[in-house]
Amino acid sequence: MPVDSLKPSGAPRPNTGIVHLGLGAFFRAFGCVYIADAMAASGGDWGVVGVSLRSADTADVLRPQGWAYTSVSLGADGEQPRVIEVLNDVLVAPENPAAVLAHMSDPNVKIVSLTVTEKGYCHNPATGALNLDNGDIQHDLAHETPKSAIGYLVRALQIRRAAGSAPFTVMTCDNLPENGKLVRGLVLEFAELIDPKLASWIGSNCRFPSTMVDRITPATTKDDIERVAKITGTYDGAPVMHEPFSQWAIEDDFVANQRPDFAAAGAEMVADVTAHEHMKLRMLNGTHSALAYTGYLAGHETISDTVGDPVFAKFARRLWSEIIPSVIAPDGVNLYDYSDALFSRYANPAIRHKTWQIAMDGSQKLPQRILGTMRENLDAGRDNTGLYLAVAAWVRYVSGTDEQGGVIDVRDPLAVMLSDLCNAQSEPAEKAAALLGVTDIFPTDLAAQIREPIGVMANRIWDVGTRRAIQEILND
């Protein structure tokens, strides 16, 4: 192991113009890279203060490195490292919520961006409404010191309004359909409950551009850290590993038009991101989730391992054949070419994206990744067989026991409830029916339409295993 640890270059850092909530590996591998490139091309004070809403781990590792870290592109031509220096600080919200609010309410901060995962928005995925039963939301409505991302957004905007400052732009970068519109609705719903005048001010003055983000970013492992040290000759305790590909479509709707020159960094600045969102959510995220549940149950550790199995390679193509008719292509995009490119990305052996990682939080992901496609296919009389099997695999996964009888470490905000519902039933179809009755995930009318076919698929998965069940539908 090299003696020297990664240190900042000593070049002047830009002043802070962005606060980012939920500073995980993805935003450091994606958003921070775009921001660095935008400032390199066009300047501007767009330094970032990151906020960890839960854990101090990221801050503790980055602090000795002066907030610098290595971004490593894993391509066919090898590993390409690059040091990123756009972070000015990383705050741990539970340790110092006042500091987080102080940065967010600073008039020099023009954008608050988010990658807090689907569950971080504390909403009902089936309806898009704020989940008023969520413990963090209940806390934040009763206290001025928040815990949730929505709470922080509203309380910081409340401070800015009281100070006579302009609001910031809220830019979500999570995989949610019409994510800007969704977050705007959640923020206004929360604000209305504490101060209707605040809600009116936010609605009139704040901006919530929708975005579509795309870069596969596996969780960094100990082996990755050791490999980066060998490549670079310096020790970095928090590198981020990612594929070479990246795509960012952003609605060009910012308060006072103040933003980095994202276009110079390669982002697509568009008037409406809906087509990009739906294409990516359904074709990439939908198949990613389907392959994660089925691949995990079949014993495949990563997505590249999964599509390296010829049965699953054909299954991915089958899924796209069901999904593509429900997708309106963005201008200039051929959806079949897009699916070919996705398959090549999935098959990249350098990207060790674990099926278990992608399988997390399925209760929050299924509505936007799979169920919307399923509903449109039903309305149009189109086939959903592969998608039914994917949901049945999710049922088997969240039951907590794999095909060899081993325990699955299910990470999901509804994990206990889902497991209890499954375990209360003896037959697979009954387990599936019980889960389809969870209205926070499955709208009642949709559940009634899909109960029988998903029950059939659940029976086959339990009887013959996931891989064999896939073979059966491919041979129909």
Tell me how far apart the alpha carbons of residues 435 and 431 are, in angstroms, rounded to a whole number. Answer: 6
Task: State residue 1's pLDDT score.
Answer: 46
Q: Are 388 and 457 in contact (CB under 8 A)?
A: yes
Two tokens, residue 219: 């969780």
Nearest to 385 by CA among 440, 313, 460: 460
- Residue segments in the chain with a per-residue pLDDT below the cut of 50: 1-2
The domains of the chain, with CATH numbers, are 16-270 (3.40.50.720), 274-475 (1.10.1040.10)
Residues near 437 by beta carbon (within 8 Å), at least 6 away in sequence: 421, 447
Task: State residue 76's pLDDT score.
Answer: 79
What burial class does residue 219 get, using C-beta atoms within 10 Å of its C-beta: 0-12 exposed, 13-18 middle, 19+ buried? middle
Neighbours of 463 (CB within 10 A): 10
Tell me how far apart the alpha carbons of residues 115 and 93 are, in angstroms, rounded to a whole number. Answer: 15
Task: State residue 3's pLDDT score.
Answer: 57
Q: Are 447 and 437 in contact (CB under 8 A)?
A: yes
Tell me how far apart the alpha carbons of residues 405 and 353 are, in angstroms, rounded to a whole number. Answer: 24
Tell me how far apart the alpha carbons of residues 96 and 104 are, in angstroms, rounded to a whole number. Answer: 13
- How would DSSP label each residue in 211-271? EEEE---PPP-HHHHHHHHHHHSSB-SS-EEE-S--EEEEE---GGG----GGGGT-EEES
Task: State residue 476's pLDDT score.
Answer: 77
Tell me how far apart the alpha carbons of residues 80 and 70 are, in angstroms, rounded to a whole number. Answer: 10
pLDDT tens for residues 357-410? 999 999 999 999 999 999 999 999 999 999 999 999 999 999 999 999 999 999
Tell me how far apart the alpha carbons of residues 181 and 444 are, in angstroms, rounded to a whole number. Answer: 24
Q: Are 34 and 267 in contact (CB under 8 A)?
A: yes
pLDDT tens for residues 408-436? 999 999 999 999 999 999 999 999 999 99
What three-state secondary structure class fits 20? strand
